[in-house]
Amino acid sequence: MDSSYELLPEQFLINPSLPIYEQFVQAIRERIVSGMIPPGVRLPSVRDLAASRGVNPTTAARTYQELERMGLIVTYRGQGTFVTREEGVIADARKAIIRQAVQQFKEIAASLGLTAEQMLQMNKEE
Amino acid sequence: MTALKTIVKLEYSRYRLKKVHELLAGLALMAVLLPAGLFFPLSGITPQSPFLTAAILLWIIAMGVSAIHMISFYGQRHKDWFLTFPAPRLTLLRAKAHSLLKLCLRIAGPVFTAAALLYGLSVLSGRYEPLPAFGFIYTLIAYSLLILTLLPLAIMSGLLVSVLMSIRSQVLLLLLAVPYSLLWLAPLTAAILLNDAATAAAFYGSEYLSPQYMLIYSVILLILDLSVYYVLLPVIAGKGFSMLPQPESKPAEGSPLHSGYKTPRGLARSACSTGSRSPLLSLYRLDASRLRSMERHRSVVVLKLALPVLMAVAAYFLTGDLEAFLTCLGIPFTLPVMFGFLWMLSRSSLEQKQLSWWLLFPQSRLRLLLSGVAAVWVTVMRILLVLACSMLAGIAATQVIGSPAPYHISLYISWLWYSLVVYTLALTLGLGVLQSIYYLMKSKALAPLLFVVIVAVLLILPQINKYLFPDQFTVAPYPSWSIPGLAALIGLPLAMCCTVAGAKYFHLALGTNKEQAAKKQA
Amino acid sequence: MNINRTAQDAPAAPAAVECRDLRFVIKNRVILDGISFHIPQGSITGLLGPNGAGKSSLLRIISGLTPAGSGTVNINGRPAGIERLGEISMLPDRSSLPGWLTVQEWLGFAAGIYPDWDSGKAAELLLSLSVTPDSLISTMSRGEEARLQLLTCLSRQAALIILDEPFTGVDLISREVIASAVVGEMAGGCRTFLIATHDIREMELLFDRLILIGGGRIQGIDDVDQLRRSGYSVESRYREVFA
């Protein structure tokens, strides 16, 4: 049942100039929040993740550490790593993504000398 | 299984042949040796002579095979893998020695059988009285023991070449190269000398060659084998392998299989150094660059240093005895010419990788072929000239030091000049005639002729010594120019025709070698 | 499993490779000079540099095939040399396995030659690297032979694996297969890889450390994560150093 869910999109472009585990964490978090990887699904081992993406195993291990720190995945000794079933954690992550997106949006607006509301307003008028 | 056993098996596995092929090869070897034995006097003198000849032959083969194995190992693509095996270097070397011994024993089988058959044939044809049954068995056992104890020594002497090649100091190299060259030149010289009936009779008649003495020699050889195995092999393993990974001995260095790396440099040099755009000259330089790169090989350097000295010394001592001088004169000239022929023959298989490039050059096939011939010709001629000059120096030295000569010194010089001309002629004719093999590859029906041409060319050389250099003089001890003159008159046009005919079918060298390669792999 | 335990038992393990002030001269030509670095156990280190930088010489010295002129090299805390060959699994540059054997025969020999040979692993890798067991080595394609060579290296239990240009003349798919096999072997965390290569794009995601070498000298030693944090990729760093 676990193999039907891809941890990362098949065509996942890695930017070699940024820390790779951060890119992985971000992408996987988005897929968990959006429900593409449902709660309770078992994740591939660190080794499989690294081998399938051709990255250093430390990168894969750090990705899991980071996601675990966020509470999005849980490791049961001897059984493997699973997506959390705690709705609250996933909801928190969702809020975090929203906050991040809004923050970025505001930054772009500010760089154009506008507020976020003004940007949205202008988009409607067009 | 111990690591040594495994590596021996691995080393030995490269000499695998199918049962049928093995049998055929053995029969072919005997088919060549038997007529040769009947034809040349050196094995028909006494009942023991076939076996002693076999021993000499096996010494040359064993030492040659192992020296070539060691030298070519530097250029093998699997070298680095072998060197990274987690085993002491001594184990690697012993594995080589053991597997070579197994190989040589395999060769010794048919050679010894051929000797026994030759003995039988000689008895039947009444060359000598048969030995009594006991004496025959005694001889067989004594000589098998001799060969058995001789082979390890020959093989280890062959492997020793790697130590010579690791020596950096030129002086030391020269000092060691001379005795080392004697190790393999001695039996070779013996074989050529014994071709002369009178010498052979004196030699084989000697009581020191009786089976009793052979048993004593075997015991001595056995002691030598053991001491060399335990004392010398560790030295070879230490010195001989240590030089291997140095970049200067990296694959490209002179190994025929890899001089592909060298060729571009040769090209660049010929393109830059001369403004001339003559394609033939460029082709020649390209072909010659491969032989030049071989000359830089340390084993060749060793020879280059050792041979002239040996030749000068030999000439010095032989001047004064005209008959001995004439008997020996052919030896130094035969070997380089033989090398030229063998190189020409193996060229297409050695250069298989580059050959398709050669054939793609927008030049006529005749030019391609001629440039290749010219490269070999010039190389061999350089060797012949150096040898002749060092012999001349030896002859001149007798005048300076003043040893009495029964004939005037000009006589020796004229014979030297004569043999230089004769061997040059033989080289030219032989190389030309050999080009016809490409034509003969045209169809399967012509294939047997191919074999005949090769054997004929290779057999020219011993004949020269026999017919052009008389044993005794009846009228005047001066060389006769009529035979070589006639040979040139008939031979040169023939060689030209052969080259032109071969050039047309040069491209066949590509195809047949693939078949051969496939056969080898099968 | 076996391997895991050894790694945990020795937490303060010595560096897999340690070079101090290495110098190597051939015929008055300085090949390597002032080379000092160390490679911690369990890392994948990329040895990068232009042609003729001295990479192969360095790897030969580390493996013990060539004695260093001066300076020291330690493998797992002990001086490098022929005696260490059992601890190092090396894939030599531009080298071939004995071409007259079939894959199966070679693996049979390898099992006898390498004391740390793991036949189970070899069988597993035959499948994952898709090497045909009964083909003759001399007739294999370059990619397939490269995979067989890697298979030979990885089927040993030696903790230090040195690959000298494992990708020369190898097709894209084989390169990916090789890279992913390397990662698969790593995940135990106790094998150390030192890889010299020109295929930076294929390999850059694999490396966690870089040793940049040019003109016989170390031009830089980088932690790849650190590089990425400061906005460099392995490739851009390489260009910065050597262009």
Contact between C120 and C150 (Cβ < 8 Å): no
pLDDT in tens, A85-114: 999 999 999 999 999 999 999 999 999 998
What pLDDT does residue B245 have?
41
Higher-scoring residue by pLDDT: C22, C188: C22
pLDDT in tens, C81-121: 888 888 999 999 888 888 888 999 999 889 888 889 999 99
Question: Which amino acid, C191?
Answer: R
Report angle CA B277, B283, B284 to the nearest 5 degrees: 110
Decide the pairing of beta strands C29-39 and C44-48: unpaired
3 state SS for chain A: CCCCCCCCCCCCCCCCCCCHHHHHHHHHHHHHHCCCCCCCCEECCHHHHHHHHCCCHHHHHHHHHHHHHHCCEEEECCCEEEECCCHHHHHHHHHHHHHHHHHHHHHHHHHCCCCHHHHHHHHHHC
Structure tokens at B150: 């001789």
Contact between B69 and B96 (Cβ < 8 Å): yes
CA dist B464 and B462 (Å) reads 5
CA dist B336 and B381 (Å) reads 8
Cβ neighbours for B222, distance < 8 A, ≥ 6 positions apart: B149
Decide the pairing of beta strands C217-223 and C209-214: antiparallel
Interface test mutation site (partner C, options A12, A56, A58, A63, max chain C beta carbons within 10 A): A56
pLDDT in tens, B347-376: 766 666 667 677 777 777 888 888 889 989
* Best CA proximity match to B353, nearest among B2, B60, B77: B77
CA dist A77 and A74 (Å) reads 10
What pLDDT does residue B325 have?
80
B86 and C CB contact within 8 Å: yes
pLDDT digits (tens), chain B, 522 positions: 688 999 999 999 988 888 888 888 888 888 888 887 777 665 667 788 888 888 988 998 898 889 888 877 877 788 889 999 999 999 999 999 999 999 999 999 999 999 999 888 888 887 778 888 888 899 899 999 999 999 999 999 999 888 887 777 777 877 787 788 778 777 766 766 666 666 667 777 777 778 888 889 999 999 999 999 999 999 888 887 765 444 433 333 333 333 333 334 443 443 444 444 577 777 787 788 778 777 777 777 777 888 888 888 888 887 777 777 877 788 788 888 988 888 888 776 666 666 767 777 777 788 888 888 998 999 999 999 999 999 888 888 887 776 555 567 778 888 888 889 999 999 999 999 988 888 888 777 777 787 778 878 877 777 777 677 766 655 567 777 888 888 888 889 999 999 998 888 887 776 544 444 444 443
β-strand partners of C78: C75
Residue of chain B minimizing CA distance to C138: B521
- The distance of Cα B437 from the centroid of its chain, to the nearest Å, equals 21
Decide the pairing of beta strands C209-214 and C44-48: parallel
B14 and C CB contact within 8 Å: yes
What pLDDT does residue B398 have?
80
CA dihedral B40, B43, B46, B48 (to 10 degrees): 180
ipTM score here?
Answer: 0.84
Q: Which residue has the tokens 């001897």?
A: A78
CA dist A6 and A31 (Å) reads 9
Question: Which amino acid, B225?
Answer: D
Left, alpha or beta for C91 (phi > 0: left; psi -120 to 50: alpha)?
beta
DSSP for residue C156: B
Interface test mutation site (partner C, options B5, B7, B74, B80, max chain C beta carbons within 10 A): B80
Beta-carbon pairs below 8 A across chains B and C? 82
* Best CA proximity match to B338, nearest among B64, B72, B105: B64
B90 and C CB contact within 8 Å: no
What pLDDT does residue B79 have?
86
Cβ contact, residue pair C112, B85, below 8 Å: no
The beta-carbon neighbor of A51 closest among C183, C204, C208 is C183
* Best CA proximity match to C66, nearest among B297, B227, B249: B249
Given CA atoms B474, B480, B482, B486 in this order, what sign does their dihedral have? positive
